Structure 1
Amino acid sequence: MEETGARTDRLGVLLDQFDQAREMAEVRLAGLGDEEYLWEPLAGCWSVRRRAEATTPRAYGPGEWVLDKGAPDIPANEYAEVARQAAGGMSVAKIAADWSVSVERIEQVLAHTGEPPPDEAPFTTLAWRLGHLHSCFAGQWEWTFGERRRDPHLLVDFSPAADVALERFWALIDRWRADVGRVTERQLDTVGFSQYPYGSDPDDHYITVLAGANLEFIHHMSEIAVLRDLYRLRSTLSA
């Protein structure tokens, strides 16, 4: 394909950003093996596990292997997002439903002043981070370009094999990228073009949803890259 330079239209900027992030991610994931994929550097990690071995209360997936998920809550690093939702006109009840928590918990977050308390989130494996990304993009595809009816928790058949997980993930990302590339200017400005139920997508312009999807991809792939570095240097670190 002839090189025409970077696009400067709104969709083009987001697509170029996503394409570059995807290219870097593919390079960083080359050669991933099963042991590294499932490596748990600390006790109590969240990961991909057999259903019978899952210890988290809301581990999910349609098959034998599920993705760990804990009880619903709002981490401190999301307090600002809750405040943004309230400032944007969302009712406390709607925000509570969005986060799967009680109205009282939302009121507590909105009433908080000063620095948020430190999060006590579990450490997540490379398998978990890749599975989480896969689940998010599969859900957003289904509720934007698909039938908009399937449970996002039942869309991804998680696997303990790195090559299988990556093959399925990149196939989904290819489908996502192809359909996003056909979005029109009018659709970019449509509130609720994505009806993905786990988040604020139904209340946001689609261009905002796309920017958020790019951010999700970039930040989790950055974490995965760091995990690969730690795995490579694990003997040095333990010494």
Structure 2
Amino acid sequence: METEGARPDRLGPLLEQFDHAREMAGVRLTGLGDEEYLWEPVPSCWSLRRRGEATTPRAFGPGEWVLDLGAADIPANEYAEVARQAAGGMAVEKIAEDWSVSVERVEQILAHPGAPEPDATPVTTIAWRLAHLHHEFAGAWEWTFGERRQDPKLMVDFTPSAALTLERFWTVIDRWRDSVAGVTDEQLDTVGFSQYPYSNDGDYPYIGVLTAANLEFIHHMAEIALLRDLWRSRFTARA
């Protein structure tokens, strides 16, 4: 990954933010072992599973190990985005296609009164969170700077080895960051510069897509850091 001084353009703050998060994440992931990587702190976690042992309906991956994934839905923290899409004139059918849910589900969300109810989402392991980021950033690179043909869900051969995962993961992350550093001001404003499937990236200027990518990286790394803290203290916590 290239390093550089502060940039005065609009891309500069996003790169600086990502670089700082990348540096902190590298420190926090030092020493990650296989047992901790696959640790399930509560029952019914989502994680990596051998293909024949997966129980979630949409578990995916090209090899022996697949990543848990449940039925498609729109998380509560995205209800406001769905409302913005509808207010902007997007048809309910198109919104449903973007989120891979039914038209009825979109209509239900748009009709939801008051604050959204909390999501009943499962706890995910460190392995799941790293794998999620890995395939998302691999796909983001392929469908922005690559040939835009590979299915992101088939691009990453998931592994139960923490060391091998991190080796492959940082290679993908740093390639993505170096490519982003070359994006022009015009490309930042281009709607559809990213065509990442399973998302609505193609509907937004690329600067918005990059902002969301930084948020995705930061919040999942914060979750991983907390899981590492819990793993370290699991035998010292009071009963």
Instruction: Quote the residue 2:149 is aligned against.
Output: 149
Question: Counterparts of 1:8-87 in structure 2 under 5 Å?
Answer: 8-87=8-87
The CA deviation at 1:105 is 0.6
Question: Counterparts of 1:1-239 in structure 2 under 5 Å?
Answer: 6-237=6-237, 239=239
The CA deviation at 1:238 is 5.5
- C-alpha distance in 2, partners of 1:201/1:160? 30
* Counterpart residue type for residue 19 of structure 1: D
The CA deviation at 1:5 is 5.2
CA-to-partner distance for each residue in 1:168-198, whole Å, 9 max, x for gaps?
1000011101110111111001000000122
SS at match of 1:236: coil
The CA deviation at 1:8 is 3.1
* Counterpart residue type for residue 17 of structure 1: Q
CA-to-partner distance for each residue in 1:60-119, whole Å, 9 max, x for gaps?
000000100001111222211211222233221111011111111101101111121221
TM-score, normalization by structure 2: 0.96
The CA deviation at 1:145 is 0.7
- C-alpha distance in 2, partners of 1:122/1:116? 18
- C-alpha distance in 2, partners of 1:88/1:144? 25
- C-alpha distance in 2, partners of 1:125/1:113? 33
- C-alpha distance in 1, partners of 2:164/2:4? 35
Q: 1:93 to 1:233 in 2, by over 3 A?
A: same
- C-alpha distance in 1, partners of 2:5/2:138? 30
The CA deviation at 1:41 is 0.7
Q: 1:4 to 1:38 in 2, by over 3 A?
A: closer
RMSD after superposition: 1.3
- C-alpha distance in 2, partners of 1:238/1:123? 22
Q: 1:194 to 1:162 in 2, by over 3 A?
A: same
The CA deviation at 1:58 is 0.3
- C-alpha distance in 1, partners of 2:42/2:4? 47
SS at match of 2:237: helix
- C-alpha distance in 1, partners of 2:71/2:94? 19
> What residue ranges of structure 1 are gaps of 5+ in the alignment?
none
The CA deviation at 1:9 is 1.4
* Counterpart residue type for residue 127 of structure 2: A
- C-alpha distance in 2, partners of 1:196/1:6? 29
The CA deviation at 1:135 is 1.2
- C-alpha distance in 2, partners of 1:192/1:104? 27
- C-alpha distance in 1, partners of 2:182/2:5? 19
* Counterpart residue type for residue 88 of structure 2: G
